Every structure is written in structure tokens, then in C-alpha cells.
């Protein structure tokens, strides 16, 4: 460093008396000699970068570059990738969960089908036979709104008896399957509006849906790619498990989907097809009653007989907190606690027979206290 400084000063001092631009008799100016001397002493020193303006002039933009770029970045495939990457980063892992088993079963069945190499985009047909009576479930819940609105707003619980998340049906679908959930819900709503409880529509990625909700089972025929049919199967498995009536009079039940998928060997349909049966088991949770001894179970008192979807992802928690995660507006409705107050330094939501108390400082974590005497 001192040598560089000295060399620069020497050039500066000598430039007062010597014309550096005039080459001497040997054909090299003093500036050129000093540059060669410096290059010999620092052979690894990178050359001066090319000016940015010159680089831009040398770049050859491919023809139709902007058109191709817009096509890729704004296309459904790239949007699906982005949305699902964001969703996966926020949710608990699928590995080892019931959802993974559902995905693996239908993926394996579709992958086992051999299609001609000329078959464009590998379109399949999936015939879903679902043990699910959605219209009667919505009527039994006695929502004070039309069935097509109720299916979107119904409060669902996903997770386990001690670690769960409560969201409206639409909100959970958008959280877990952001790219197609709104369109799948829209087709269900159109079927509920229809006098014959059926609807045909085309959703994202040109997937064709034909839904029939007439009791006692739901029948869905879908045409689409392997990825689209797998995602649809995941959503139907969750919907059938979440929007289901409990089999016990009080306490928590765990609802678990069971899938079987098989190739249709003899079919006149030119499109390769499979049949998927979705059944569900509803069993009481081991700690299905309210308890003060088990961490994260105080929320049981907010429900009469909830059905918790078992084995599907919920929002990840960085500190492994236990309990039920849900929006504040849903908390106030379920706990019937509509007024915020403060006792000493403690924030609380107060209802007639309930109180939600802030129990942690770094997150909004509430504990519920309630009275069984309705006075």
C-alpha cells in the first residue's frame, strides 16, 4: 500500500517538469513504463472494468424477449410455483402426515398409467367417489344464511386436540392450496345453488370439473394433468373431513380421510382414467373433554362437539407453542367475549361467562376461563 502511494506521488511530482504524453526516443512514454512496471508487480490485479454504457451496447437482446419473459412470469405454472412455495414455507411439514399418504396414493396410481409419447400434456380422467353429504351437513348446522354462503364461511378446525388451527373453510383452503382453492369452492357453491345439486365448470390450468352433490355421496369427475388432479384430491379429502358431523354428543372428534385409488382397466374412454374412493373415519380424541391438566387444551370449552381434521398442515409455530390458533374475530365470536378490558397490567376479553386473558408477552397468546353456571 505504501509502495502504491509512493509511486503515485512520484508521478505527480515529476509531471510538473516532464511531458508524460510525449514519448521519448525509445518510443515509450513514462506513463506507459510505469503501467508496465505496475502490471509486472501485480499480475493478478483485475483489469479495469468495461464501462456500463459500453456493456449495455454490446448486449444482444433476443428477439421477442419481453414477450417470452411476460409469458413465463405471468403464466399459471410460474404463479402456481410461487404461491405453493410461499404456502409451504409457512405451514407445518407434510412428511409423515395423512396428507402425504393421500398425495402418494393418487400420484402412484396416475404414474403407473402408460400413455403414448405423443399424448399431449398427459391428460387424465379421475372419477372421485366421496363419502360426503355436504348439503345435509350444511342444513344440520342451521346456518342463518344460504348453503352456498355457509360452505365458504363455515368454521373448520385442523390439526390435533392440543395443537390446531381454526379458520373459515375458504381461508384454510386459500392458505393451503392458494392457486386453485377459490375456483374449487366456487364450483361447489354453484352446485349447491343448482336445483339438481350438480355443476360443470373449467378451473385453473384448464382442469374440467363435473360435480354432483346429490345424497348420500358426492361424485366428481375431473379431467386434467397429474398435478392438477393430485391437488384436487387433496382438497376433496380435507373438505370431506372438515365439513362433517360429529358422532358423539360432546367433546372432540378426529376426522381422518382414507383413500384408495385404482386404474380403470376396461374403459371405452380414450383418456386414461382412474377411480378414487375417499372415505372417512371419525373417532373421539383421547383427551376429547375440556381439561386444565393438559397444556394447550383450554380452547376445548369454546366448542360443543368439534370435528378436527387430522393429519393436514397448519401454520408453523417457531416456538412450538401449544393450543388453538385462530383470528381474533373468530375468538370473540366463539368465546362470546366482545369487550376488551385491562385488569392491573393484564389485557382481557370479557364475556358474560367467559374471559380470555393474555398469558404471554412476546405473542398474542390467550387463555380462556369460563363458568359453567349460566347466571
For all residues of the chain together, what is the average pLDDT?
A: 80
The C-alpha atoms of residue 234 and residue 237 are separated, in whole angstroms, by 5
Question: How remote is the C-alpha of 78 from its chain's centroid?
Answer: 15
**Whole-model pTM?**
0.75
Residues of the chain with pLDDT under 70: 1-30, 33-59, 76, 115-121, 267, 287-296, 352-353, 355, 358-375
**CA 219 vs CA 65, 129, 170, 173, 188: distances in Å:** 45, 5, 21, 20, 12
pLDDT of residue 9: 39
3-state secondary structure the chain: CHHHHHHHHHHHHHCCCCCCCCCCCCCCCHHHHHHHHHHHHCCCCCCCCCCHHHHHHHCCCCCCHHHHHHHHHCCHHHHHHHHHHHHHHHECCCCCCHHHHHHHHHHHHHHCCCCCCCCHHHCEEEEEEECCCHHHHHHHCCCCCCHHHHHHHCEEEEECCCEEEEEEHHHHHHHHCCCCHHHHHHHHHHHHHCCCCEEEEECHHHCEEEEECCCCCEEEEEEECHHHHHHHHHHHHHHHHHCCCCCCCCCCEEEEEEEEEEECCCCCCCCCEEEEEEEEEEEECCCCCCCCCCCCCHHHHHCCCCEEEECCCCECCCCCCCEEECCHHHHHHHCCEEEEEEECCEEEEEECCEEEEECCCCCCCEEEEECCCCC
pLDDT of residue 81: 80
Amino acid at each position: 500500500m505504501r509502495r502504491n502511494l509512493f509511486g503515485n506521488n512520484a508521478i505527480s511530482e515529476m509531471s510538473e517538469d516532464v511531458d508524460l504524453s510525449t514519448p521519448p526516443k525509445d518510443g515509450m512514454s513514462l506513463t506507459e513504463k510505469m503501467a508496465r512496471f505496475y502490471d509486472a508487480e501485480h499480475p493478478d490485479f483485475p483489469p479495469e472494468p468495461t464501462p456500463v454504457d459500453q456493456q449495455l451496447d454490446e448486449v444482444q437482446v433476443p428477439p421477442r424477449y419481453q414477450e417470452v419473459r411476460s409469458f413465463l412470469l405471468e403464466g399459471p405454472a410460474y404463479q402456481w410455483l410461487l404461491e405453493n412455495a410461499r404456502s409451504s414455507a409457512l405451514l407445518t411439514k407434510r412428511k409423515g402426515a395423512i396428507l402425504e399418504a393421500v398425495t402418494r396414493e393418487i400420484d402412484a396410481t396416475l404414474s403407473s398409467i402408460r400413455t403414448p409419447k405423443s399424448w399431449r400434456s398427459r391428460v387424465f380422467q379421475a372419477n372421485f367417489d366421496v363419502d360426503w353429504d355436504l348439503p345435509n351437513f350444511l342444513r344440520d348446522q342451521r346456518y342463518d344464511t344460504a348453503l352456498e354462503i355457509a360452505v365458504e364461511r363455515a368454521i373448520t378446525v385442523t390439526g390435533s386436540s392440543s395443537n390446531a388451527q381454526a379458520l373459515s373453510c375458504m381461508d384454510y383452503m386459500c392458505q393451503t392450496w392458494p392457486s386453485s382453492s377459490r375456483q374449487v369452492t366456487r364450483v361447489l357453491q354453484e352446485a349447491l345453488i343448482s336445483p339438481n345439486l350438480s355443476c360443470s365448470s373449467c378451473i385453473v390450468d384448464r382442469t374440467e370439473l363435473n360435480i354432483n352433490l346429490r345424497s348420500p355421496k358426492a361424485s366428481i369427475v375431473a379431467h386434467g394433468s397429474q398435478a392438477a388432479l393430485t391437488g384436487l384430491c387433496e382438497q376433496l379429502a380435507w373438505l370431506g373431513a372438515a365439513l362433517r358431523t360429529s358422532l358423539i354428543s360432546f367433546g372432540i372428534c378426529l376426522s381422518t380421510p382414507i383413500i384408495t385409488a385404482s386404474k380403470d382397466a376396461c374403459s371405452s374412454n380414450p383418456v386414461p382414467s382412474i377411480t378414487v374412493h375417499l372415505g372417512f373415519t371419525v373417532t373421539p380424541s383421547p383427551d376429547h373433554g375440556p381439561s386444565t391438566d393438559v397444556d394447550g387444551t383450554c380452547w376445548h370449552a369454546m366448542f360443543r362437539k368439534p370435528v378436527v381434521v387430522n393429519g393436514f398442515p397448519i401454520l408453523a409455530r417457531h416456538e412450538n407453542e401449544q393450543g388453538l390458533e385462530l383470528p381474533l374475530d373468530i375468538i370473540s365470536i366463539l368465546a362470546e367475549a366482545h369487550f376488551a378490558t385491562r385488569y392491573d397490567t393484564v389485557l382481557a376479553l370479557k364475556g358474560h361467562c367467559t374471559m380470555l386473558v393474555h398469558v404471554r408477552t412476546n405473542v398474542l397468546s390467550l387463555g380462556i376461563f369460563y363458568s359453567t353456571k349460566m347466571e
